[in-house]
Each structure stands twice: as structure tokens, then as C-alpha cells.
Amino acid sequence: MWVNGRTGCGSRLAPMALLISILLAFFVPYPWNVLVVLAGVSVEVLEVIWGRRLAKRWRPKTGAETMIGQQAEVAVACRPTGQVRINGELWEATCAAGADVGEQTIVRAIEGLTLVVEPVPAPEGHPLETV
């Protein structure tokens, strides 16, 4: 099973459990070798059920909607229209407050193929306390 481009730990262990149970079946006496194989098959079936439930829950995020809330850098001044760079791509943008080249903005909405952005609020400075 693939999770974020990598195989998950469970995807390696379940086939190993089935393989080990089949190998153990050759060394365990008759009534127990059937139980060992059944246990291996059960582990494999449970892993498939668990993997399918995870696959339904973890849908990949695609499309322009995933950009809402992300930061973008202004490439062409937005007064009120301009362009921003987000994820290496240039997008048309509108910024009611205005933003200059190089400033960071946050994507708040998407209208057609135009991003609606607003400047990132400046961090509030905390005054140093002296004792």
C-alpha cells in the first residue's frame, strides 16, 4: 500500500505473516499446520480490509482549491490586480489592500482563474521586559 509516495509498514508485514505461516506449516504437526496457515490468511484479509478503509479516508488533495490558505509571493504588484507565485506557478491575483513585489500574501479565495489574496499580517512584536 502506498502512503504519500512510500510504502506503509503494514504493507510489508502482512505478506510476510502469510509467507511465514506457510513456511511454518511444513514444520508443525498436522492439526497445527492448518491453524497456522489459517492465521496467516486471516492476517492478510484483515490487512486488506484495513488498507481499503484507510484508502477511503485519505483522499489526495488536488485542484486549485488546495491553494486556499497557502502563502504566495507577489511577482507583479497587486494594486488591485497583479500576479503571485505559488508552488512555483504564476497566478493572476487581486488584492484589495494592495501588495508590492516580493511581499507575502495569503490566498483567501478563488474566483475563476484569479486568486483573491491579502497581505500577510506583520508579526506583533513583544516588548522586552526589564526587571
* Better pLDDT: 12 or 95: 95
In a domain, 8, yes or no: yes
The enclosing domain of 110 has a CATH number of 2.40.50.140
**Total domains, the chain:** 2
pLDDT of residue 16: 80
| Segment 17-59, tens digit of pLDDT | 788 888 888 898 988 999 999 998 999 899 889 989 988 888 7
Pairing of strands 6-7, 71-76: unpaired
Is the pLDDT assigned to residue 124 strictly greater than 60?
yes
pLDDT of residue 14: 59
Residue-range definition of the domain harbouring residue 106:
64-119
* Better pLDDT: 81 or 122: 81
What does the alpha-carbon distance between residue 44 and residue 37 come to, in Å, rounded to a whole number? 11
- Using alpha carbons, list the distances in angstroms from residue 131 to 28, 116, 126, 128: 76, 46, 15, 10
pLDDT of residue 4: 45
Pairing of strands 104-111, 114-119: antiparallel
Q: Max CA-CA distance within the chain?
A: 81
| Mean pLDDT across the chain | 84
Full-model pTM:
0.51
Note whether 70 and 92 are same-domain residues.
Answer: yes
Segment 116-121 long-range contacts (CB within 8 Å, at least 24 positions apart): 117/72, 117/78, 117/84, 117/93, 119/95, 120/71
